[in-house]
Amino acid sequence: MPQRVAVSAEQAGRLVAEQFPQWAALPVTAVENGGWDNRTFRLGDSMLLRLPSAEEYALAVEKEHRWLPELAPALPLPIPVPLAKGSPGAAYPFAWSVYGWIDGTPATFGSVADPIRFAGDLADFVTALRNVDASEGPQPGKHNWFRGATLRTYEALALGALDELRGHIDVAPAHELWTQALEARWDGADVWFHGDLAQGNLLLQDGRLAAVIDFGTCGVGDPACDLAIAWTLLSADGRDVFRERLGVDDATWARGRGWALWKTLVSCADSLGEDGADARDARRVLSGILTDRG
């Protein structure tokens, strides 16, 4: 597991003052639920600080500064565009970033105003991202936890979670779907993907999809990882719209379901015996995955 570092607002403010004195007078405040891979702080009213929480996550900083300014003009929704790159300092060991602030609230299953429209808007975003020239994009690797590569990277985690869940769920259909995902072939044509289309990275305004954030796991390769959102957030009808709009074939759909399955199995195993909102949501998602065999 990554060795995470703690970062305080005071420490982040010292980094800004040392390296970007033009912003030294602006207040630095922690963002509630500001992320796991990065510690996020508001800088004044119009900027944010994004500080990786571990060495592994810091590998994405250079990638984001290289590629997000190129991706942004091709996409139909706002994405983060870096304003400045910071260096280690103030007892903080990694490179870090200053971004413009994007207004919005994280999407949840219940906060999407029109699930069908949301699914279509998200599919249009994914389509535009896939249409960006991928010939020089970053291949899967440690920088993005091997998103875009084979699902076998996560086989041990998925099977371990299934063992833990034995007796709590019917593991046979889950194992069958996992096997189908591993056996589904990819044609090998690299395309751009976001890598972590999840509730916290999709922002809403008035219930509509308004922005997509956190491209730390982006890259080029097999785009099936971006299909996991079809089960983790979309309604059943929205899932159908999403698939049809993207024109997803059976093999890619099976791999996408596999990406949703491994993460949900792990979440369910980690929350056994709990009844909080996250645990209930993980069980809801798993039920949807096992029920929808299309």
Per-residue pLDDT reduced to its tens digit, 13-41: 999 999 999 999 999 999 987 778 999 99
pLDDT tens figures, 201-250: 999 999 999 999 999 999 999 999 999 999 999 999 999 999 999 999 99
pLDDT tens figures, 100-110: 999 999 999 99
Predicted local distance difference test score (pLDDT) of residue 251: 98
Instruction: Report the side by side order of strands in the sheet with 47-52.
Output: 28-30, 38-43, 47-52, 96-100, 82-86
DSSP at 227: G
pLDDT tens figures, 139-180: 999 999 999 999 999 999 999 999 999 999 999 999 999 999
According to DSSP, the β-strands at 96-100 and 82-86 are antiparallel
pLDDT tens figures, 251-261: 999 999 999 99
Q: Tell me the torsion sign for CA atoms 33, 35, 36, 42.
A: negative
Look at the pTM and tell me if it is higher than 0.85: yes
DSSP states along 243-294:
HHHHT--HHHHHHHHHHHHHHHHHHHHHTTT--SHHHHHHHHHHHHHHH---
Predicted local distance difference test score (pLDDT) of residue 271: 97
Go through the domains of the chain in sequence order and give each one's CATH number. Answer: 9-100 (3.30.200.20), 105-291 (3.90.1200.10)
Predicted local distance difference test score (pLDDT) of residue 35: 78
- Count Cβ neighbours within 10 Å for each residue of 177-189 and write b for 16 or more, e otherwise: bbebbeebebeee
38: nearest Cα among 72, 4, 62: 4
Residue 293 has pLDDT above 80, yes or no: no
Using only C-alpha atoms, the chain has a radius of gyration, in whole angstroms, of 19
Predicted local distance difference test score (pLDDT) of residue 34: 74
Task: Tell me the average pLDDT of the chain.
Answer: 97
Which positions ≥6 away from 141 have C-beta within 8 Å?
Answer: 219
pLDDT tens figures, 34-59: 778 999 999 999 999 999 999 999 99
Residue 95 has pLDDT above 90, yes or no: yes
Residue 294 has pLDDT above 90, yes or no: no
pLDDT tens figures, 49-85: 999 999 999 999 999 999 999 999 999 999 999 999 9
State which amino acid sits at residue 276. G
Predicted local distance difference test score (pLDDT) of residue 247: 98
State which amino acid sits at residue 5. V
